[in-house]
Amino acid sequence: MPAAVRGFPRRRGERSARRARPEGRTGERMTTPKIDTLKIDALLALKSEGRLLVGRDRIRLLEAVAEHGNITQAAKALGYSYKTAWDAVNAINNLLPRPAFITRAGGRSGGGAEVTEEGVRLISAFHRLEERLARISAAIAEDGLEGQDSFLFWSLGIRISTRNVFQCEVVELTVGPVDVVVRLKMSSETTILARVTHEAADDLELAVGRTVLALVKAPFVTLASAGPDPAPQDNSFIGTITRRIDADAGAAYAKSEILIDIGSGKTMTAIVPRQLADTQNLREGMVARASFDADHVVLAAD
């Protein structure tokens, strides 16, 4: 469980904590000075099977939702925009086997929100681990770190620009002469197809039962009505549009961001030309089809 330890200060008269280079003598090495406990900021990123799940800010958001029973009020209490709060809880739900957060009917102003039992367990687990990390940080401050071992505490997680990130399990591999088609279980009801090269499959050590992240950039997701698909793609999901955000219609290449609830607590984000969204009358509450090709799925694994 990596944590970032930052803010190592230098005391007067002390050298940098980089490993000393040999200068003709053997057995010499540079030691890391002890650090004032108050100078350490140790941050925890909770992961699920090695995948980044949630950090302190998202836990605070879940706690605010539990307190206020409303995503708008929770966002306001923490100084977040409504969109930022929604994106955060959707990201958590997409990476959990079961949703940590659900909404009740009523829309942005009248609807409610609540943290599920899964969410409560997530909050509790995070705080328990954070307490342990605090004790480890105190020990580091007291005893210091030798050489460059502090690098082990540098990475607390990753930030990904791709909007659609899902934790999946490999359930089937179909090996062809050129590539490998990977069937991934995203939830008990939903699977995704990805297509990768043989080299990529080997590098990722893909095998049935392996847990991976599936990433799909929002512009690769196409939207259509929920009727028969005139141009079937490898991946197609029927869901309900939960949010639409439009760029200024007068702006060049104006886009619309559209979120679709595809079931099992999972949300798919699509970015489409606003003209297309207007023509198809894509709106909140509408049932629509979200599709993308297997070649547009990027897989990541530890």
**What tens-digit pLDDT sequence spans the chain (302 residues)?**
333 333 323 333 333 333 333 333 333 333 334 434 344 555 666 555 555 567 788 888 999 999 988 888 999 999 999 888 888 888 888 877 788 888 775 554 445 788 898 889 888 888 887 777 776 666 555 555 443 333 233 323 445 678 898 989 999 999 999 999 999 999 888 999 999 999 999 989 999 999 888 999 999 999 988 877 666 788 999 999 999 999 987 777 899 999 999 998 899 999 999 999 999 999 999 999 999 999 999 998 87
CB atoms closer than 10 angstroms to residue 115: 24
Task: Report the CATH number of the 1-159 domain.
Answer: 1.10.10.10
pTM: 0.56
Q: How many CB atoms are closer than 10 A to CB 202?
A: 11
Q: Beta 255-263 vs 266-273: how paired, if at all?
A: antiparallel
- Find the Cα–Cα–Cα–Cα dihedral 145, 146, 151, 155, rounded to 10°: -30
Residue 232 vs residues 101, 223, 270, 291, 292: alpha-carbon distances, Å: 32, 12, 17, 8, 9
CATH of region 162-302: 2.40.50.100
Question: Quick count: other Cβ atoms within 10 Å of Cβ 16?
Answer: 11
Q: Where in the chain is the domain with CATH 1.10.10.10?
A: 1-159
- Vertex 171, ends 166 and 172: CA angle to 5°? 120
Instruction: State the span(s) of the chain assigned CATH 2.40.50.100.
Output: 162-302
Taking a C-beta distance cutoff of 8 angstroms, is the pair 195, 182 a contact? Answer: yes
